[in-house]
Amino acid sequence: MKNYILIFLIFLCSCKKTFNSNNTYSNDIELPYYNEPTFTPIWLDQSNKKLDQIHRIKSFNFQNQEGKWINQNDLFGKIYIANFFFTSCGTVCPKMASNLLKVQKEFSSNEKVKILSHTVMPWFDDQEKLNEYGKMNSINSNFWYLLTGPKHDIYKIARESYFADEGFGKSVTDVDDFIHTENFILVDQNGRIRAIYNGTLPLETSRMIEDIKSLL
């Protein structure tokens, strides 16, 4: 329940009322920035010097389902959705995969958009397992990267860069606590978080698709 309430509030915050020439207002969807695990929205225009202080995703280097190593330089100038999953998950992960396939259908021909799905069970989900999972789920490996790597590195970037497992009423007692979040994180061309969504909800996916279009 806390997840839904927080995401709903984030959605409300992203709708900013602006006045037109007739002194009536319209709701323009304007994506804020997120700087910390509380996901408190921050609105800044591109000329604001404070933009340099906004949180960015830290450097990374993970292997995808094709055996290629993907790092932050491969995503420079691109918009992407990040999430965390594991191939043997039979609860929320199929719903999340189904929703991400909608994103793939919408943007797979656009080189400026990608999906990054990080396994939270890298000791089981190696490159071969991810490749098999990708083929079973009709995943386009040129558009949607299924990533594996050292557990410490994945969990570190999940918590410190994407704020996964944080801000949603979850209690993390140890750095090795299992991460399993149903959230999608929208990252812009400059590596900054612009939105978060409940990945199990089709309505949230539709909103995410529109938000991606607004950044292109």
List, in order of start, the domains of the chain with CATH numbers. Answer: 56-215 (3.40.30.10)
Kindly tell me the sign of the dihedral angle through the C-alpha atoms of 140, 145, 151, 155.
negative
Residues 86-142: pLDDT tens digits?
A: 999 998 999 999 999 999 999 999 999 999 999 999 999 999 999 999 999 999 999
Task: Match 């191939």 to its residue by tokens.
Answer: 87
Containing H/E element for 27?
A: strand 25-29
pTM of the complete model: 0.83
Q: 122's torsion region: left (phi>0), alpha (psi -120 to 50) or beta?
A: alpha
pLDDT tens profile 36-78? 988 999 999 888 888 888 999 999 999 999 999 999 999 999 9
> What share of residues in the chain are helix, strand, coil (percent, to 5)?
30, 25, 45
| Nearest CA among 97, 60, 100 for reference residue 76 | 60
